[in-house]
Structure 1
Amino acid sequence: MFESRPARAVAKLWYLKMLWDQQSVPVPRDSPVIRSGADDPDRVLLIGNGPTHGWGTVTHELALTGQLARSLTRHTARPTDIRYIGDEMMSISSVRTWLGDVRLQDFDLVLVVLSMNDAVRLTPAETYRAAMVELLGRLTRESKPAARIVVAGIQEVDSLHAYSGLAARIGQRRADLLNGLTREVVGQHDGVSFLDLSAPPAEVGRPYGSPQLYADWSEVFASFCAPALDEARSLDADRSATRLTEHEWAWKPGERIMAATGGHESLDRLVQEAKSHFGVDAAWVSLIDGDQQFYAANTSPVGRAVPLELTHCQYTVQGDEPLIIENSAKDERFKGNPLLDLSQLRFYAGAPIKNDDGENIGTFCVLSVLPKSREAVSEDDLKEWASRAQDEVQRLAAESVEDDARLQAAIARR
């Protein structure tokens, strides 16, 4: 019964409802890299969604990424650097794209915390197993021999605020199945361990997440991962110093714009107004650099960035005119796209925004779950809002250049 296509469609819609109900819940949009500043720290790669997304916090320092770095240091008595790759919108099928060309040899430990969204959306077992085989194959093949890999199971489905009763029971049944498949695949690799995960209780009054909840989560992970880090260090006779980075920006002002922990009030206000003006489910202003799309402002539950190749905007920035897609589900360019399968955003209307040199460096977009006709959005109206977003981005970019100039002048005077 629960393997049927209609059942999966209903499960996807329920998950989508949960996401949109949580639009107002803050998530971190700052850099997902925690650095200790030490010369030879333990280096950890955190890959995940769910608790790793940082629901209820505005900075990775207070989310699981920062809390885990501090917990591991308490357990090992060594400094810890962590890089987080992932998002609530990352499913098992899209991990390959999210990882991109990351250098796995830089890390002593890889911690994988995935699959809750696959469980509650009833991802087919064969699809899930194939993706997990591919993921662990890459991790074991490309990581250094001394590195340890920990794969966490899916915690209790009823630990999610939106899941109780029948929805929780159906999701838990799939979670148990996927956990069994994960144990099986993990058992085929040396240096890989399975962590049977149980969720700590949420803080009273903060069901979606809080710094205290992530501190509790971090202890769950650290108690299991610290011995693995000890083992990795003992096996690594030829350690080399490596500085963890998130993204090397080609357009440097973009890095400064995205460095603001609390976002930018003017851009946040603009996208909220655009969502109401266009009558859509989501609106955002993005900066595109390399193979990543970064969200300078966003009304949807997506965090800091997503791989560009999974987005509509990859096509918008290729030209100078607005792009309107009535129904992404019927567009061959997005067939099998795992990000759109999660977000279910069908209608898209976007326009490029430029830097002061006339180069396309981002987009202004509005999106909806339900398809719409091209006439639902005026291209002239879209261009006008994109121009407002562009003016604000250019203003912020100019401020960042001025700040850099003042900093360099201050250094020169010393």
Structure 2
Amino acid sequence: MLAPMMRLLTPSIEKRLAEIPRPDDAPAGHATGLDPDRILVFGSGPASGWGVRTNDLALPGHLARELTRRTGRGSDVDLLAGERITIRDSIAELGRLDLAGYDAVIVTLGVADALGFTDPAHWKHHMDALLCSLASRMSRSAQILVAGIQPIRSITVYNAWWGDLADRRAQHFNRISETLASTHERTQFLALPGERLPKRRHTAPEMYQTWAALMAGRLAGVLSGSDAGGHVSGRDRPAELGSAREHRRMQRPEDARQNALDQLELVGSEPTSNLQRIVQMTQIAFGTEAAAINLIDHDQQWVHAKAGPDVHSSTRAESFCAVTIKDPNGLVVPNASLDWEFAQNPIVRAGRVGFYAGYPIESPDGQRIGALCVTDPQPRRFSGSDRSALRDLALLVQQELWNQWNAAQIAERQTSAPPPAPPRTRIPPVPTGRSTAPEQPAR
């Protein structure tokens, strides 16, 4: 009886949900620092970002900052969320996502199941299957954090008498999840608090910060960072065997990387004004002769945006950025003429590049398609804080590329949508074959 009742309430609930702000920017959060941990937040409820307009103020942004505050490393938090994701759909929703590159996955499922009054036996079966699937697809050092379902009535649109019924089901699910988490290696359960908010008020940034602090507190101590601290070239940085960091440094299939670049349609196009400004800021910030966004396209390096003289497209074989994209932490070459990999490079021998620093740029689907870099004819030092600042600027490039990609997706959907139905008009009666003229009296 409970599930049919919720179906009757669905239209009014969805109308209220449509009025609540939610993020419309890139589904990710970042925090400044080197050797970043990479986290995936997956699910519904707290992951959906209700009440704020940007993921920087939602769970991804707060979680990235809280993790960095505790670890001293950078943080990248990716988001895969949808308010209608249920426990039954969870494995399919993850699809072919490469989970081996994540240091941790945070699962925030259950709101939709509690409201739909999913059978607890089904919840147990599918949650156990999800945890097994995650463990089999993640690196052997990665962590899984199952976040409990927040109190249902702390969600404004569900703050009604029937919310108590759903909340009791949610508490039952939480007990099941906590028990299951205790039976799986590298898996923890975390109860999430919630508070009833006044009507017409939605989840505030402070609540996301509270949840993020609790999650970061659980994860910070078990995430394994690099011993090198990120101050050496990515080519020389050690990585724990079998770790997520090692996986992120593995060579990716070239066809997938090239396909991601092709889909963005950047090669041969003019850069946006925002990208050009970022490149100019980069050159000024580091005081180098040149800065550029370089894209690695087949066997060529394409200069998409540049600031400074003597910046030209080149072959991939001569490209520093082609080496940069092999490592997620970037590349620094303080003195190219003394570097074992670049000393014989034609542009080094010609005196055009004596110093190079670059940080990879990822496509919206996570492929490293190019790099933001700075170069100078003279060798120079590049500190840890410089590397961190270059990463922040590269993330701005990624945000702009996501904005371009998202705008193109919206335009494509609008173009391919069926034309709107014509306005309704009164339909004339269908002729019956009989005359509508009044019958003449018989003579």
Tell me if TM exceeds 0.5: yes
Inter-CA distance 232–8: structure 2 relative to 1 (3 Å threshold)? farther
Measured after TM superposition, the shift of residue 82 of structure 1 is 0.8
The residue aligned with 2:417 is 364
What amino acid does structure 1 have at the position aligned with 2:117?
Answer: L
Inter-CA distance 354–237: structure 2 relative to 1 (3 Å threshold)? closer
Alignment of 1:98-117 (within 5 A): 98-117=93-112
Larger relative helix fraction: 1
Measured after TM superposition, the shift of residue 228 of structure 1 is 3.0
The whole-number CA distance in structure 2 between the counterparts of 1:185 and 1:232 is: 31
What amino acid does structure 2 have at the position aligned with 1:242?
Answer: R
The residue aligned with 2:264 is 252
The whole-number CA distance in structure 1 between the counterparts of 2:127 and 2:136 is: 14
Inter-CA distance 123–77: structure 2 relative to 1 (3 Å threshold)? same
Whether 1:49 and 2:44 are equivalent positions in the alignment is yes
Whether 1:228 and 2:222 are equivalent positions in the alignment is yes
Measured after TM superposition, the shift of residue 74 of structure 1 is 0.9
Measured after TM superposition, the shift of residue 106 of structure 1 is 0.3
Inter-CA distance 128–23: structure 2 relative to 1 (3 Å threshold)? same
What amino acid does structure 1 have at the position aligned with 2:140?
Answer: P
Matched length: 267
Measured after TM superposition, the shift of residue 117 of structure 1 is 1.6
The whole-number CA distance in structure 2 between the counterparts of 1:78 and 1:156 is: 32
The residue aligned with 2:240 is 237
The whole-number CA distance in structure 2 between the counterparts of 1:129 and 1:232 is: 36
SS of alignment partner, residue 47 of structure 1? strand
Inter-CA distance 164–22: structure 2 relative to 1 (3 Å threshold)? closer
The whole-number CA distance in structure 2 between the counterparts of 1:122 and 1:231 is: 41
Whether 1:208 and 2:202 are equivalent positions in the alignment is yes
The whole-number CA distance in structure 2 between the counterparts of 1:140 and 1:104 is: 9
The whole-number CA distance in structure 2 between the counterparts of 1:161 and 1:190 is: 36
The whole-number CA distance in structure 2 between the counterparts of 1:195 and 1:233 is: 28
The residue aligned with 1:78 is 73
Match of 1:198 among 193, 201, 214: 193
SS of alignment partner, residue 131 of structure 1? helix
The residue aligned with 1:135 is 130
The whole-number CA distance in structure 1 between the counterparts of 2:64 and 2:410 is: 37
SS of alignment partner, residue 227 of structure 1? coil
- For normalisation by structure 2, the TM-score amounts to 0.52
- Note the alpha carbon deviations across 1:45-76, whole angstroms, 9 max, x for none: 11121121111222211211111100111122
The residue aligned with 1:388 is none
The whole-number CA distance in structure 2 between the counterparts of 1:362 and 1:140 is: 41
SS of alignment partner, residue 83 of structure 1? strand
Measured after TM superposition, the shift of residue 91 of structure 1 is 1.7
RMSD (Å), alpha carbons:
3.9
Inter-CA distance 115–365: structure 2 relative to 1 (3 Å threshold)? farther
The residue aligned with 2:358 is none
Whether 1:176 and 2:171 are equivalent positions in the alignment is yes
Contact 1:201 1:213 in 2 (8 A): no
The whole-number CA distance in structure 1 between the counterparts of 2:17 and 2:411 is: 31
SS of alignment partner, residue 215 of structure 2? helix
The residue aligned with 1:119 is 114
The residue aligned with 2:211 is 217
- For normalisation by structure 1, the TM-score amounts to 0.56
Higher relative contact order (CA 8 A, sep 6+): 1
What amino acid does structure 2 have at the position aligned with 1:31?
Answer: A
Percent identity of paired positions between Structure 1 and Structure 2: 27
Alignment of 1:14-413 (within 5 A): 14-36=9-31, 40-164=35-159, 166-199=161-194, 207-230=201-224, 237-238=240-241, 239-240=245-246, 242=248, 248=260, 251-252=263-264, 363-364=416-417, 378=421
Contact 1:26 1:55 in 2 (8 A): yes
- Note the alpha carbon deviations across 1:324-367, whole angstroms, 9 max, x for none: xxxxxxxxxxxxxxxxxxxxxxxxxxxx9996xxxx8964369x
Contact 1:53 1:88 in 2 (8 A): yes
Structure 1 spans left out of the alignment, 5+ residues? 1-5, 260-288, 291-303, 305-351, 367-376, 383-414
Contact 1:15 1:121 in 2 (8 A): no
Contact 1:153 1:195 in 2 (8 A): yes
The residue aligned with 1:296 is none
Inter-CA distance 37–365: structure 2 relative to 1 (3 Å threshold)? farther
Contact 1:146 1:232 in 2 (8 A): no
The whole-number CA distance in structure 2 between the counterparts of 1:24 and 1:365 is: 25
Higher mean displacement: 204-213 or 6-15: 204-213
Measured after TM superposition, the shift of residue 249 of structure 1 is 6.8
Inter-CA distance 36–219: structure 2 relative to 1 (3 Å threshold)? closer
